[in-house]
Amino acid sequence: MSINSKKTCCLRIGPRCTVNCCNISTAERRVISWVSEVRYLGVFVVRSRSFKCAYDNAKRSFSSAVNGILGKVLKFASENVILQLIVSKCMPILLYGLDTCPVNQTDLRSLDFTVDRVFMKLFKTGNIEIVRECQAFFGFKLPSVLLNISSDKFIRLYDASDNVVCTSLRVN
């Protein structure tokens, strides 16, 4: 099998993640580079002591999509319409891969803050209490809440599964 060395890279995860590694070569004598971050199926995995993902690209893409919507319809559409567009078009960009990656509290707060900034821009305020009231009024769920709902749903489906693998993994 031929390996494209331009599209292939190595990433180290574990207690020795910072240790320099020997170069790895393909059969054609092309060196495969060692990287600190790799994109796999749209999710960015980073070199770390434990499996960890980076969300900066998702936040940047989300903000770009929101700004695209605001640039087109901010003057003409109501807040409700704008928020529906953000929920349907932009939130999937931000949430993509969250259910498969470990997300710690710091990452969740950062994702929530990214959404809070959109509300601050849309409602022209810097007050987080006003932002929370607007989110509650429009029924807008933050990424931390959506991830919690998604995790609960997964656990319920897992518990209800008759799959032999799932039942053998359950802790009684």
What is residue 48's DSSP assignment? B
Report d(CA 10, CA 25) in Å as an integer: 11
How much is the mean pLDDT over the chain?
Answer: 87
Is 138 within 8 Å of 83 (Cβ atoms)?
Answer: yes
CA 171 to chain centre: 29
Same domain, 84 and 137: yes
Which has the higher per-residue pLDDT, 24 or 93? 93
Same domain, 41 and 88: no
Give the type of residue at 148.
N
Same domain, 96 and 60: yes
- The structural domain count of the chain equals 2
Same domain, 18 and 94: no
Q: Is 166 a member of any domain?
A: no
pLDDT at 103 over 80: yes
pLDDT at 171 over 60: no
Same domain, 17 and 76: no
Computed from CA positions of residues 124, 78, 63, 51, in that sequence, does the dihedral angle turn out positive or negative? Answer: positive
Backbone angle region of 129, left / alpha / beta, with phi > 0 → left and psi within -120 to 50 → alpha? alpha
The reported pLDDT for the residue numbered 134 is 95
Could you count the other beta carbons within 10 Å of the beta carbon of residue 21?
Answer: 10
Same domain, 66 and 143: yes
Report d(CA 85, CA 99) in Å as an integer: 22
The set of residues, in sequence order, having a beta carbon less than 8 Å from that of 85 and lying 6+ positions away, is: 69, 73, 77
Which 3-state string (H, E, C) describes 107-149?
HHHHHHHHHHHHHHHHCCCCCHHHHHHHHHHHCCCCHHHHHHH
Helix (H, G, I), strand (E, B) or coil at 25: strand
Computed from CA positions of residues 144, 54, 103, 171, in that sequence, does the dihedral angle turn out positive or negative? Answer: positive
Domain that holds residue 38: 9-52
The reported pLDDT for the residue numbered 5 is 77
**Is this prediction's pTM over 0.95?**
no
In this prediction, residues 144-162 reach a mean pLDDT of 81
